[in-house]
Structure 1
Amino acid sequence: MSTRTFRITVRGVFDGLSTDQRAELVARAAQHDPLRAAFTPEGHLSYELAARAAFTFRFQDSGEEEEDILEATERAEEAAKTWLTERGYGYKNLRSKAEDLSQAPLGKRQRRAAAQKHI
């Protein structure tokens, strides 16, 4: 049995941030720049408070079965909630989207590389 790789995106909106919390997030904005976003096992947070109060966590997880994506999504949501709660950041409208990379369509380069293997 092969291992499946899952990418889980957890999105939400900061809610009720104090002036100090907002200043703290703004000070750390370079670490959480959306242009540097990556899917990681521990989760990567990105946001742009100057534009809007929305945030995105990106998680990478794995499993053996297709159904394991549901548990991976739950773990990602809990990790995001824990991170926010531990820091006292209010949030709302939390939603998740998960993708099983073994089911993702191949891009043009990937199709070309696969075709080269069969020649």
Structure 2
Amino acid sequence: MGARHTYRVIVRGVWDGLTDRDRERLLADADRHGLSSMRFTEEGSLTYDAALKRFSYRFTVVSDADDGEEMAALLAEERAEAALAALGLGHRALTSTATDMDTMKVNDRGRRPGRPARPR
């Protein structure tokens, strides 16, 4: 087993086959699933708006670095599928993007070449 990396994965999809009851339930909770609720968590953070066209899930996935971003994306899509199935909500067209947080460069604006970073 290789090194473990942490990935942030966004899974996007389209609502499909929602019943009137599903729509009512989603609309009743729409305020709790808006922009202010976007968080990367292991269990996933579901966001959508009142139009009920599209949704996104944000996941944190810890996976073997040798498997890469593709595996992290697949794992997140499986989590989204399971969560949506548990809620009984129809969907289609899942796509995902993953970012390896362990290899991501951080741009420190307060740092200039040859000078130490400013304390925060």
Which bracket does the TM-score occupy, shorter chain normalised? 0.7 to 0.9
Cα gap change, 1:113 to 1:15, in 2 (>3 Å): farther
**In the aligned structure 1, how far is the partner of 2:93 from the partner of 2:71?**
20
AA of the residue aligned to 2:17: G
**Structure 1 stretches of 5 or more lacking a match?**
none
**In the aligned structure 2, how far is the partner of 1:45 from the partner of 1:106?**
27
Q: Percent identity?
A: 33
**In the aligned structure 2, how far is the partner of 1:107 from the partner of 1:3?**
23
2:91 alignment counterpart: 91
AA of the residue aligned to 1:60: T
2:58 alignment counterpart: 58
SS of structure 1 residue aligned to 2:111: helix
TM-score normalized by the length of structure 1: 0.81
**In the aligned structure 2, how far is the partner of 1:101 from the partner of 1:113?**
23
**Structure 2 stretches of 5 or more lacking a match?**
none
The structure with more helix, counted as a fraction of residues: 1
- Give the superposition deviation at 1:90: 1.0
TM-score normalized by the length of structure 2: 0.80
